[in-house]
Amino acid sequence: MMRTTGFAALAVALFAAQPALAQEDKRMFVEGLGGGVVPTFDIADVATAGAAFGATLGYRVNPRWVVMGEVDYGMHEDEPTGTEDITTLHYIAKVGYSLTGPRDRGWEATVNLGAGAVTFDIDGGESFTYPAINAGAKLAYNFNPSFALVFSPQGDIAFSDEDELGTTNAWVWPITAGVRIAF
């Protein structure tokens, strides 16, 4: 009788834990993103807002904490003449905290902080890479454990050289949306 009760209790515990285990199986995810990138403050005198494309690779350490690597590619024109192309490449390592926890269906919200670098490449000129910090969020609507639509407003501050870019801190905001595939 004792053995049967123990097996029954174990079966009930495993059955009750099944949804949590199913979600944990989907620890990795990849995002494909598109949208815009907006320079602000002094860098806005140098570059215009433009299109952006990006990708994120993420890993859920546990239900609340996420580590991510994100790359965003921005396309700008120079502000004074509008004739020179300027591209920005943002590569940031991030730590995120899920405010909602992972969801099989419905809304999920995560805030993130990170560090990395931003490269400014001026068409026909030089390329400059500077250390950068990041703060942002990910708002996702999960259709199932494997597929979600995601909105990703981010803010990157590159610690630039005033002699090269005209400012010591280039604030650039990749604002993108796309899809997330979890596996």
CB-CB neighbours of 133 under 10 Å: 16
DSSP, res 16:
H
Q: Which of 1-5, 97-101, 102-106, 146-150 has the lowest mean pLDDT?
A: 1-5
Confidence of residue 21 (pLDDT cuts 50, 70, 90): very low
Nearest to 120 by CA among 50, 73, 79: 73
Confidence of residue 5 (pLDDT cuts 50, 70, 90): low
Is the pLDDT score of 4 beyond 70? no
Is the pLDDT score of 166 beyond 90? no
Q: What is the pLDDT of residue 104?
A: 93
The greatest distance separating any two alpha carbons of the chain, rounded to the nearest whole angstrom, comes to 85
Q: What is the pLDDT of residue 3?
A: 52
Nearest to 112 by CA among 128, 97, 90: 97
Q: What is the pLDDT of residue 25?
A: 73
Q: What is the pLDDT of residue 80?
A: 86
Strand, coil or helix: what is 42? helix
Predicted TM-score of the model (pTM): 0.83
Q: What is the mean pLDDT of residues 22-50?
A: 89
Q: What is the mean pLDDT of residues 156-163?
A: 95
Confidence of residue 165 (pLDDT cuts 50, 70, 90): confident
Residues 151/133, Cβ–Cβ less than 8 Å? no
What CATH number does the domain located at 27-182 have?
2.40.160.20
Residue 69 has which token pair?
């690597």
> What confidence tens digit (pLDDT) does each residue in 71-108 have?
999 999 988 888 889 999 999 999 999 999 999 999 99
Residue 66 has which token pair?
């996420």
Nearest to 137 by CA among 116, 108, 115: 108
Is the pLDDT score of 14 beyond 80? no
Q: What is the pLDDT of residue 11?
A: 46
**Cα separation, 168 vs 157, whole angstroms:** 10
What contacts 90, CB < 8 A, 6 or more positions away?
54, 70, 71, 72, 73, 74, 116, 117, 118, 132, 134, 154, 156, 172, 174
The percent of residues in the chain predicted with pLDDT above 90, rounded, is: 75
Please give the mean pLDDT across all residues of the chain.
89
Q: Is 76 exposed, middle or buried (0-12, 13-18, 19+ CB in 10 A)?
A: buried
